[in-house]
Amino acid sequence: MSQKLKIAFYWAASCGGCEIAVLDINEKILDVVKIADIVFWPVAMDVKYKDVENMPDKYIDITFFNGSIRNSEQEHMAKLLRKKSKTLVAFGSCAHEGCIPGLANLNNRDEIFEQVYVKDKSNVNPKAVMPKTTTTVKEGTLKIPEFYDTVKTLGQTVDVDYYLPGCPPPVKLISNAIDAIAQGKLPPKGSVLAPLKAVCDECPRKRDNKKITKIYRVHEKAPDPDRCLMEQGIICMGFATRSGCGAQCLNVDMPCTGCGGATPNQPEVGAGMITALASILGIDKEPGQYTDEDVEKLMNQIKDPVGTFYMYSLPASILKRKVMKK
């Protein structure tokens, strides 16, 4: 390679875990430095927003963008970095599908403000003061970005070239992506940079193709460490979730919750999971012997289906958000 690649990292509405995942590649970061110059990384380097604005369009070869789009400032940066980058990678679950903070789409801005600034038990706020985008104080004017009603993924905001899934993306997937970039072997645009298999395919647990009649929550049952959790009645999203993580959560006897996003043949994790559940949930009685009530009783054992099946993917799902009354 005659010239070094120009790479950028940016974060929007995220927790910082994706930045830590980049540090977790440890010595591999030296490989990155060998093939690339990091031209923009706000948490680690002194490159300013203005410098990015002054870059020619498509100046950056690859931008890794983590976090979802929650306010006006993040939307602005997503658009700017799209313009300045040849390739834009949605890095991690927030940018990919909206992740856990995307569950805020079950509420709107007013409801969130009401809870956080008024109802929260430790608040002492009798006048119900709430943040405003522009505030006049005695010395001058203070401005903060506008908080949107809806959390959006990066792909719903700008055109995205690749997705690196996971919360955070597993170190192995980050390393593989770096190698693919170094060798110029990136797959076709729009690809998810992860294996085509499901978490179940990486999980060593034994499956007996048993039907389940009762659903247990993780605190209600200590599972057999060698058998499939789903077949023991504990909802595990591994069926419908893309692998690449090495089934880490299963290693400590906890179910997959779906951070890797949907497997390639599914439109979305939630729909995939509901389909899978339909085939495994069973009733002891013979067909024709059970009533609608029996079926309903079984289904009612699944508490908070939205929060369970769309824990990481509500903004990207066909549901997107709760429809709010005007």
Restricting to residues 96-115, which ones interact with other proteins according to CB under 8 A?
Answer: 99-101, 103-104, 106-107, 111-112, 115
Q: Which is nearer to other proteins, 196 or 222 (CB)?
A: 222
**Using the rule CB under 8 A, is 70 a contact of other proteins?**
yes
Q: How many residues bind other proteins (CB under 8 A)?
A: 79
**Using the rule CB under 8 A, is 125 a contact of other proteins?**
yes
**Using the rule CB under 8 A, is 165 a contact of other proteins?**
no
Asked if 310 and 270 count as a contact pair (C-beta separation under 8 A), the reply is yes
Q: Which is nearer to other proteins, 130 or 196 (CB)?
A: 130
Distances (CA, A) of 278 to 211, 247, 272, 308, 315: 10, 23, 10, 15, 24
Identified binder of other proteins from the candidate list 253, 280, 290, 298, rule CB under 8 A: 253
Q: Is 216 exposed, middle or buried (0-12, 13-18, 19+ CB in 10 A)?
A: middle
Binding residues for other proteins restricted to 199-218, rule: CB under 8 A: 217-218
Identified binder of other proteins from the candidate list 43, 196, 295, 299, rule CB under 8 A: 43
Q: Which is nearer to other proteins, 5 or 18 (CB)?
A: 18
**Using the rule CB under 8 A, is 285 a contact of other proteins?**
no
**Using the rule CB under 8 A, is 27 a contact of other proteins?**
yes
Binding residues for other proteins restricted to 292-311, rule: CB under 8 A: 303-304, 307-308, 311
DSSP-assigned letters across all residues of 244-288: -S-SHHHHTT-----TT-B-TTSS-HHHHHHHHHHHHB--SSPTT
Is there a cis peptide before residue 131, judged by omega within 30 degrees of 0?
A: no
Q: Which is nearer to other proteins, 47 or 280 (CB)?
A: 47
Binding residues for other proteins restricted to 2-21, rule: CB under 8 A: 13-21
Minimum distance from residue 27 beta carbon to other proteins (Å): 7
The helix-helix angle for 28-35 and 171-182 (nearest 10°) equals 30
Tokens of 283: 């009733």
Gap between the Cα atoms of 94 and 87, Å rounded? 18
